[in-house]
Structure 1
Amino acid sequence: MAATLCQVMGFILSLLGAAGIIAATGMDQWATEDLFDNPVTAVYSYSGLWRSCVRQSSGFTECRPYFTILGLPALLQAVRALMIVGIVLGAIGCLIAIFALKCLKMGNMEDNIKATMTLTAGIMFLLGGVCGIAGVSAFANLIVQSFQFTTFSSGGFSMYGGANVGGLTGSLTPRYTFGPALFVGWIGGAILVIGGVLMCVACRGMVPDRTRYDGMAYKAASPHSIYKSEKGSRPAYNDSYKAPSADGRQTNQRFDYV
C-alpha cells in the first residue's frame, strides 16, 4: 500500500513538474526590464527564449521572434537545448509511468516488470528536472552578468553579447532582471526531481519478495554410529529345488530363488 501511494504521488508531482517546464519554455518573460531608476517608463520590454516583446504604456504589445539562429549567443542556444531535452525526458517518463502504475492492471504484467518501469520513469524524471534547472540557472547567470555590466548611460554591453536582438539595444540600453518564467522553471524542475525520487523509492517497495520453499531438514549421520549386522540364520532351502539330472536322478546343484 505504501509503495502504491508513493508511486502515485511521484507520478502526480512529475506531471506537475513537466507541465511547469513546458510552461516556462513557452513563456516570453524570461528577462524583464528593470524599472528601478529607469528614465524611460513609457516602454516596457521583456524577452524569452524565442522572441522579444515591447509593451507601451497604452497597452499595445509588439513581439518579434528571433529570426536567426547563428546570430544568437551559444549560451542561449544551450539553454534552449536543455529545456527541450528536459521536456522530452519528462514526457517519455510520464508515458512509461502510466503503464507502470501498480493500481492499473495491464494484462498479465508482473510486479517485477512494473518495478523496473517505475525505476526507469523515475530516472528520466530526475534527468529531466536537472536539465530544466540547469537551463534556467544558466539563463539567470546570463542576466546577472548583463545587469552588472550594463548602465543606462552606455550601450556597449547587451544581454545577448552585443547582438541587436529584437531591437532592444540602443543609446539607452535597458537592464534586465529575473522574469516570472525563471521562477516557474525552477519550481517545475524541483517538483520534477522530487517526483523522480519518489518513483525510485516506490520501485524498491514494488519488488516482490523471493519465494521461500519449504524443505525437509536433512540430518547427517553421526560419526559415532555403529552399524550392527543382522543376527539370524539364513533361510533353509529344501531339496525340492534341486535340478534333476539327465538320467532322472537329483544332483547336488541348487538354484537359489530370491
Structure 2
Amino acid sequence: MSNMGVEMLAFTLAVSGWILISSTIPTDYWKVSSIDGTVITTATFWSNLWKTCVTDSTGVSNCKDFPSMLALEGYIQVCRGLMIAAVCLGFFGSILALVGMKCTKIGGSDKTKARIACLAGIHFILGGLSSVTACSLYAHRITSEFFDPTYIAQKYELGAALFIGWAGSALCILGGIALCFSMAGDGTNKRAGYTYSGAASFISSRTKVQNMAADVRSARGNGNPPKHFDKNAYV
C-alpha cells in the first residue's frame, strides 16, 4: 500500500512538472526589458522562442515573428528542440506511468508493470533534464549580454517563463526518480514466506527405509517370518 501511495505522489509531481514545462513554450515573457519615463513605463520589450514584441503604455503590442529557422541564432534553435523534446518525453512518460502503476488494471503482471513504471520515470527524468538545459542556456545568454559592457543593443532580464520552466523541470525530475525507486522493494517481499522442505522430506524417507530394513534383518535372525508391508511402505 505504501508503494502505491509513493507511485501516486510521484505521478502527480511528474505530470504537474510536465504541464508547467508545456505551458512555457507559448508563454510570452522569456526575456523582458522596459523603458521607463518620468511617471509611467513607456514601453516594454519582450521576447520568447517564436517572436519579439514591444508593448507601449496604452497596451498596444507590435510583434515580429522570427525569420526562417535557418536564419535564427543557434541558441534559440537548440532551446526550441530541447523544449519540444521535453514535452514529447513527458507525454510518453505519462502514458507509460498510467499503464505501469499498480492502481490500474492494464500492463500485465506486477513485474512487467514495475518495468513499465520505471521506464516512465526515465522518460520524465530525461524530459526534465532537457527542459532545465534549455532554460539555463537561454538564461545564460541573457545574463552574458546584460553584464557585457561592450554590448550596446537592447539588454533584457530573465522572464517569468524561465522560472516556470525551472520549477516544472524540478518536479519532473523528482517525480521520475520517485517513480523509479518506488519499484525497488516490490521483488524482495514476495519470497519471504516460502520455505524449502525438500531436504527434510528426503532425510525422513531415508530414515524410514533404514528402520524397515533393520526390522527385516532382526526378524530373520530370530527365526520369525518377516512382517508384511503394504505397497506404500517404501514411499
Same fold (TM over 0.5): yes
Structure 2 counterpart of 1:144: 143
Q: How many equivalent residue pairs?
A: 212
Q: Deviations over 1:187-229 (max 9, x none)?
A: 000001111011011122343623835424144989xx9x979
Tell me if the contact between 1:146 and 1:175 (Cα under 8 Å) persists in the aligned partners: yes
Structure 2 counterpart of 1:203: 183
TM-score between the two structures when normalised by the length of structure 1 = 0.73
Structure 1 SS opposite 2:54: strand
Q: Residue type of the partner of 2:190?
A: D
1:5 aligns to 2:5 (yes or no):
yes
Structure 2 counterpart of 1:185: 165
Q: Tell me how far apart the structure 2 counterparts of residues 52 and 210 of structure 1 sit (CA, whole Å).
A: 62
Q: Tell me how far apart the structure 2 counterparts of residues 182 and 37 of structure 1 sit (CA, whole Å).
A: 27
Mapping 1:102-121, distance limit 5 Å: 102-106=102-106, 109-121=108-120
Structure 2, gaps ≥5 residues long: 226-235
How has the CA–CA distance of structure 1 residues 60 and 34 changed in structure 2, closer, same or farther, with 3 Å as cutoff?
closer
- Which has the greater radius of gyration? 1
Mapping 1:228-239, distance limit 5 Å: 230=217, 231-232=220-221
Q: Select 1:215's aligned residue among 197, 203, 212.
A: 197
Q: Deviations over 1:157-181 (max 9, x none)?
A: xxxxxxxxxxxxxxxx321010000
Structure 2 counterpart of 1:43: 43
Q: Residue type of the partner of 2:121?
A: G
Tell me if the contact between 1:6 and 1:201 (Cα under 8 Å) persists in the aligned partners: no
Q: Tell me how far apart the structure 1 counterparts of residues 117 and 148 of structure 2 sit (CA, whole Å).
A: 47
How has the CA–CA distance of structure 1 residues 37 and 183 changed in structure 2, closer, same or farther, with 3 Å as cutoff?
farther
Q: Tell me how far apart the structure 1 counterparts of residues 87 and 203 of structure 2 sit (CA, whole Å).
A: 62
Q: Select 1:176's aligned residue among 145, 153, 156.
A: 156
Structure 2 counterpart of 1:73: 73
Tell me if the contact between 2:121 and 2:176 (Cα under 8 Å) persists in the aligned partners: yes
Structure 1 SS opposite 2:124: helix
Per the TM alignment, residue 37 of structure 1 is displaced from its structure 2 partner at its CA by: 9.8
Structure 1 SS opposite 2:99: helix
Per the TM alignment, residue 150 of structure 1 is displaced from its structure 2 partner at its CA by: 5.5
Per the TM alignment, residue 80 of structure 1 is displaced from its structure 2 partner at its CA by: 1.1
Q: Percent identity?
A: 30
Structure 1 SS opposite 2:157: strand
Structure 2 SS opposite 1:209: coil
Q: Could you say what the CA RMSD is over the residues aligned between the two structures, in angstroms?
A: 2.9
Q: Tell me how far apart the structure 2 counterparts of residues 205 and 30 of structure 1 sit (CA, whole Å).
A: 42
Per the TM alignment, residue 72 of structure 1 is displaced from its structure 2 partner at its CA by: 1.3
TM-score between the two structures when normalised by the length of structure 2 = 0.80
Structure 1, gaps ≥5 residues long: 156-172, 236-258
